[in-house]
Amino acid sequence: MDGAIIKAIGFKILLYGGAGLVLFWTFNAVKLVIGARGINPLVKQFFDHIASGRIDAAYRLTTKTYKQHVNRQDFLKFLGSLQLNKYRNLKSGRPKIEDNKIMLTLSLKSEDKTMELPLEFSFVKIDKEWRINRISKASK
């Protein structure tokens, strides 16, 4: 009889623990999705500006901090070094939240899928608007 009670209690603890884990995972997933809302349109806008030659408009999507470290000329050199005209497809990775920043790795792929360029972006929310805080080539 004692074994049956222990078995029933153990099953309930396991059940509650599993439910708690699912609830925790769901809460964090919802928090990430809600927190990252608005980043995909910003990324699309950024690359649309670059594709249409409006580099200054793309540069304006960055933060003041980014502009203090990367002037317009360096931004142009960086974009030129990426050779973005070789790439047509954009694949977004899973965002990570760190200290009110969202880190995201984007992979640009050539049309024939033979070349891939991973870029790391960091986003910061300023006055309810997302801005690009850092852009760099990702190390593979």
- Could you read off the pLDDT tens digit of each residue along the chain, which spans 140 residues? 577 777 777 778 888 888 888 888 887 767 666 666 778 889 999 999 998 999 999 999 999 999 999 999 999 999 999 888 888 888 888 888 877 788 889 998 988 878 899 999 999 988 888 999 999 988 76
CATH pick for 39-137 out of 3.10.450.100, 3.40.50.11750, 3.30.1490.20, 3.40.50.10260 = 3.10.450.100
| Domain boundary assignment for the chain | 1-35, 39-137
**Rounded to the nearest 5 degrees, what angle is found at the Cα of 83, between the Cα atoms of 122 and 45?**
45
CA 12 to chain centre: 38
Radius of gyration of the chain (CA): 22
Question: Are the CB atoms for 121 and 107 separated by under 8 Å?
Answer: no
